[in-house]
């Protein structure tokens, strides 16, 4: 568990991390460089869920060797299925990271929602739903590994 004290928000207890796969931690079907190492470090602190409809059919390959729980959802109403995952893990203890329109609901509902701009860009809805917007996934993961960065952004 991560305990992060944010002035104006109080003590945040983060127990879960929910990540979108395509466009967030992978690009063009390949894991983005630096992500695996960061996820390994984070997996010692929080439970990590990677959520995907596996459009490319490569989710198992991309996440192989990572200490994450792969959560496959069906095509259609992906936004609602992602929201249900966040609610099931405990939205008040979950950080979610995504970039697409189907990530909007989970970004809004999570304790902290982080939108990643990245190589695919981001939907306007995801940008508006997020608490924090970052340039890339490694910057997003570093907010949790180096929580002073998160505090600097969120403090009132």
Give the number of domains in the chain: 1
Domain with 123 in it: what CATH number? 3.40.50.1000
| Residue 56 DSSP symbol | T
Structural domain harbouring 129: 2-154
* E-assigned strand segments in 37-93: 47-52, 69-72
The CA–CA distances, whole Å, from 99 to 4, 7, 55, 88, 152 equal 24, 27, 16, 21, 22
> Is the distance from CB of 108 to CB of 86 less than 8 angstroms?
no
Reading the chain (156 residues) residue by residue, the pLDDT tens digits are: 999 999 999 999 999 999 999 999 999 999 999 999 999 999 999 999 999 999 889 999 999 999 999 999 999 999 999 999 999 999 999 999 999 999 999 999 999 999 999 999 999 999 999 999 999 999 999 999 999 999 999 998
Main-chain dihedrals φ then ψ at residue 76, nearest 5 degrees? 100, 130
Residue 144 CB-half CA count within 13 A? 32
Could you give the CA distance from residue 142 to residue 24 in angstroms, rounded to a whole number?
14
Tell me which DSSP letter residue 32 carries.
Answer: P
Q: Can you tell me the distance from the alpha carbon of 25 to that of 33, in angstroms, rounded to the nearest whole number?
A: 9
């Amino acid at each position: 568990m991560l305990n992060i004290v944010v002035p104006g928000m109080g003590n945040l207890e983060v127990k879960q991390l929910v990540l979108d796969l395509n466009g967030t931690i992978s690009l063009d079907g390949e894991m983005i460089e630096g992500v695996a190492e960061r996820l390994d470090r984070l997996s010692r602190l929080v439970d990590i869920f990677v959520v995907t409809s596996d459009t490319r059919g490569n989710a198992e390959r991309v996440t192989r060797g990572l200490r994450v729980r792969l959560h496959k959802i069906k095509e259609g109403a992906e936004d609602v299925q992602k929201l249900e995952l966040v609610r099931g893990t405990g939205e008040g203890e979950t950080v979610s990271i995504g970039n697409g329109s189907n990530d909007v609901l989970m970004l809004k509902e999570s304790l902290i929602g982080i939108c990643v701009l990245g190589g695919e860009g981001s939907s306007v809805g995801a940008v508006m739903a997020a608490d924090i917007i970052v340039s890339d996934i490694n910057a997003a993961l570093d907010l949790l590994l180096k929580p002073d960065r998160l505090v600097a952004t969120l403090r009132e």
